Amino acid sequence: MTREQKHAAKKKKHRKVLRAGLPLDRVADQTLTTTLRTLFECGYSQNAIVDRVSALARESKSRFRRPPEENRASRDDWVQIVTLWSLDPNYVDEDGQPRALPVYGPAPSVEALLKRVDSRLSPSEVCDQLLAKGVARRVGEQLAVNAHAPIVFDPGTPEQSAYHLQMLHSVSLNIEHNSSPANGAVWVERQAICHNFPESALPAYSTDTRKRAQAFLEVEDATMHRIATVTASNGRTVRATVHILFSARETGVPPDSSSATAQEPPQRGRVVKSTPTHTRTGRKARP
């Protein structure tokens, strides 16, 4: 066996070891592509990035959990029914509170809402999810839900992974669009930064921010729903999403050097600002 043949056999064996799992779907592929392109534009070595991805794949192999045989990004599409249930005039009472609904049957029903968000789950599966998340409760043979109830996925669950992928995908779409905005229409990306925020204050601040984010997203839900209703047509529609997220990272700056700034990554070519996002889990808008 020649040297080239040995190298090809070794490469094939390596690829076979790392081949477990599903192939990249459109959402995952676009998210990964945008992330890698952004790293390249920031001037990082392509070889270093490839080596890191390969190393991460090898590290993850021992704790890899095979995903279900479906598009992972579609697993949480059903969460938008809570938004529709809270806003659609046919689903709320005279006080604006969501009505109790039958699970099956024509609108108004959970089954009818599910068809509107194009989820792959069955009505009974969605009801189980709503009850398990504490978002809904049974009222006789019907289901009742709290208005604008936030849906929080348990850590490490397939639903949380699907939601995180959708969030990353939204950020990548924002970056791609704002790198070359059509007709100069830039999508919103804003951030608030404090370079010397006390770490001990993070839990209380995060709790308080969730309340403000909840109120903000309820307004955005209503605004997008109103626009979609008033301007309804047979034309092209898109899935519009507003995310809010918070992050904190080590700055490498001593506590007594608050005026200094942490070292930033190399800046080459076009660099897009980071997208601000504080996201209420399960909050998505879909045509």
Place of tokens 């998505």: 284
pLDDT at 246: 92
pTM above 0.85, yes or no: no
Query: What is the spatial distance between Cα 156 and Cα 148, in angstroms, rounded to a whole number?
Result: 24
pLDDT at 266: 47
Q: Is the pLDDT of residue 2 over 80?
A: no
Average pLDDT, the chain: 77
211 in any annotated domain: no
36 in any annotated domain: yes
Residue 126 amino acid letter:
V
Number of domains observed in the structure of the chain: 1
Domain that holds residue 39: 3-61
Comparison of pLDDT for 155 and 18, the residue scoring more: 155
Model pLDDT for residues 148-188, shown as the tens digit of each residue: 777 777 788 777 888 888 889 999 999 989 988 888 899 99
Query: What is the spatial distance between Cα 285 and Cα 222, in angstroms, rounded to a whole number?
Result: 10
273 in any annotated domain: no
Q: Is the pLDDT of residue 273 over 50?
A: no
pLDDT band at 271; cut points 50, 70, 90: very low
Q: Is the pLDDT of residue 132 over 60?
A: yes
14 in any annotated domain: yes
Residue 233 amino acid letter:
S
Q: Is the pLDDT of residue 27 over 80?
A: yes
Q: Which positions ≥6 away from 26 have C-beta within 8 Å? A: none
201 in any annotated domain: no
Quick check: 261 and 195 in contact, CB under 8 A? yes
57 in any annotated domain: yes
Comparison of pLDDT for 133 and 205, the residue scoring more: 205
Query: What is the spatial distance between Cα 285 and Cα 83, in angstroms, rounded to a whole number?
Result: 8
The percentage of residues in the chain with a pLDDT greater than 70, rounded to a whole number, is: 74
49 in any annotated domain: yes
